[in-house]
């Protein structure tokens, strides 16, 4: 059931951006099916604005943070905002680095009082704020030269003249900024065993773009340039399972469900056996690597985010999905029925030097999150 449409139709002043000419804001709402609540997102081109919208698509609250987002924002259990900001003087590791680094973390009250800040100029992509207040996140680190020689696949024409290749460390810090846990991927995986996808830049292997801790002491990690999800036993550091290219393709944000299955945003770039890319929300059983649930658009290519993206299981069993590249946030039932859809209506260009890589007006966000009214009781 479609309650209402928002957006404007002005053919005499049409935007050059295709998406901007389509319906924006709230585009679908089925009150009998939606889980309800509030949706939080931080626009990549919003200059530090974080929006919280209600189920009718109206702005319920807004934060203006000191820096543009590196990645996303979350509501913490105490009601404050956890913000993954883009560090103004982040490490300049390779040309595309500015597209996905963060490194300037803030905790802010609803009134935007900064109560905690932590910086790491080597941070990139995802981070998880843990229940004890610690921060779990990914950093880039130079791959030892003897292992860098073992990187295979990808496009060697894009290798840097300095011969340096970056790899990944997952790090946990406490409120004092002290490192309390750290895991280096090259200590556990030979680069030759995980080739970079064809055409991809090899200077960052394998680019951990998603990280989360499970209640059973596993750290889930998403490997972008090689396609895969691994689970690391935190206590021992050993890899307990690996879902490879036969399961996922260029995925993001793996999260373990209560039953031990894993929900992931499966972007679909270079999907094995498919000539036409499409995205899906995928739930698989790591014990068997079998799909237990998936959502793709009935017209599969109509839902596709080549970069970023997230999926979240809601309390009523629905799944909240962020089609990041196009600012489309939507909620589907277990049967794949549309319960809610909202297209971010604000467009802007990426700041320099990012606009060298991504041109035009954009409304995208790295991840979006749905919260119940109880989780934002301060509203």
User: Domains of the chain by range and CATH?
Assistant: 17-376 (2.130.10.10)
Least confident of 11-15, 90-94, 222-226, 347-351: 11-15
pLDDT band at 129 (very low <50, low <70, confident <90, very high): very high
Token pair, residue 84, equals: 């993954």
Q: From CA 130, how far away is CA 121, in angstroms rounded?
A: 20
Average pLDDT in the 264-270 region?
96
Question: Does the structure show a pLDDT above 90 at 30?
Answer: yes
Q: From CA 310, how far away is CA 319, in angstroms rounded?
A: 10
Q: From CA 64, how far away is CA 315, in angstroms rounded?
A: 29
* H helix count then E strand count, the chain: 1, 27
Question: Does the structure show a pLDDT above 70 at 3?
Answer: no
Q: Compute how many other C-beta atoms are within 10 angstroms of the C-beta atom of residue 229.
A: 25
Question: Does the structure show a pLDDT above 60 at 310?
Answer: yes
Cβ contact 39:321 at 8 Å:
no
Q: From CA 296, how far away is CA 303, in angstroms rounded?
A: 7
Radius of gyration (C-alpha) of the chain in whole angstroms: 20
Question: Does the structure show a pLDDT above 70 at 12?
Answer: no
What confidence score (pLDDT) does residue 147 get?
Answer: 97
Please give the model's pTM, rounded to 2 decimal places.
0.95
Token pair, residue 4, equals: 């209402």
Closest by alpha carbon to 227, among 243, 213, 211, 204?
Answer: 243
Backbone angles phi, psi at 18, to 5 degrees: -55, -50
What confidence score (pLDDT) does residue 1 get?
Answer: 37
Token pair, residue 368, equals: 């979006």
Average pLDDT in the 92-113 region?
94
Q: Compute how many other C-beta atoms are within 10 angstroms of the C-beta atom of residue 203.
A: 26
Cis peptide before 206 (omega within 30 of 0): yes
Share of the chain above pLDDT 90, in %: 87
pLDDT in tens, 56-76: 999 999 999 999 999 999 999
Question: Does the structure show a pLDDT above 90 at 275?
Answer: no
What confidence score (pLDDT) does residue 5 get?
Answer: 47
Cβ contact 129:137 at 8 Å:
no
Question: Does the structure show a pLDDT above 50 at 4?
Answer: no
Average pLDDT in the 219-225 region?
97
Token pair, residue 321, equals: 């999905």
């Amino acid at each position: 059931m479609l309650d209402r449409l928002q957006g404007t139709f002005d053919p005499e002043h049409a935007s050059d951006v295709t998406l901007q000419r389509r319906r924006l804001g709230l585009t679908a709402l089925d009150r009998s099916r939606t889980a309800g609540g509030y949706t939080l997102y931080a626009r990549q081109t919003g200059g530090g604005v974080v929006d919280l919208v209600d189920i009718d698509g109206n702005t319920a609250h807004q934060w203006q943070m000191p820096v543009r987002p590196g990645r996303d924002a979350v509501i913490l259990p105490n009601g404050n905002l956890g913000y993954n900001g883009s560090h103004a003087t982040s490490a300049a590791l390779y040309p595309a680095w500015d597209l996905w680094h963060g490194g300037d973390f803030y905790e802010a009250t609803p009134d935007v009082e900064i109560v905690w800040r932590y910086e790491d100029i080597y941070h990139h992509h995802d981070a998880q704020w843990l229940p004890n207040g610690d921060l779990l996140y990914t950093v880039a680190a130079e791959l030892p030269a003897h292992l860098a020689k073992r990187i295979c696949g990808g496009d060697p024409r894009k290798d840097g003249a300095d011969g340096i290749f970056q790899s990944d460390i997952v790090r946990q810090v406490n409120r004092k900024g002290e490192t309390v846990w750290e895991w280096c991927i090259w200590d556990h995986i030979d680069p030759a065993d995980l080739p970079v996808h064809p055409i991809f830049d090899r200077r960052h292997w394998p680019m951990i773009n998603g990280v989360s801790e499970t209640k059973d002491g596993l750290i889930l990690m998403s490997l972008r340039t090689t396609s895969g999800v691994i689970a690391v036993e935190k206590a021992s550091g050993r890899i307990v399972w690996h879902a490879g290219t036969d399961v996922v393709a260029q995925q993001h944000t793996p999260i373990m469900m209560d039953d031990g299955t894993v929900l992931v945003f499966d972007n679909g770039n270079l999907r094995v056996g498919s000539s036409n890319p499409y995205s899906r929300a995928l739930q698989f059983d790591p014990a068997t690597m079998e799909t237990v649930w998936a959502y793709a658009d009935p017209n599969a290519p109509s839902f596709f985010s080549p970069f970023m993206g997230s999926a979240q299981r809601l309390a009523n069993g629905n799944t909240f999905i962020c089609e990041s590249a196009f600012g489309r946030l939507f909620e589907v039932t277990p049967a794949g029925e549309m319960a809610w859809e909202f297209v971010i209506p604000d467009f802007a260009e990426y700041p320099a030097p990012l606009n060298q890589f991504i041109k035009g007006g954009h409304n995208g966000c790295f991840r979006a999150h749905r919260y119940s009214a109880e989780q934002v009781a301060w509203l």
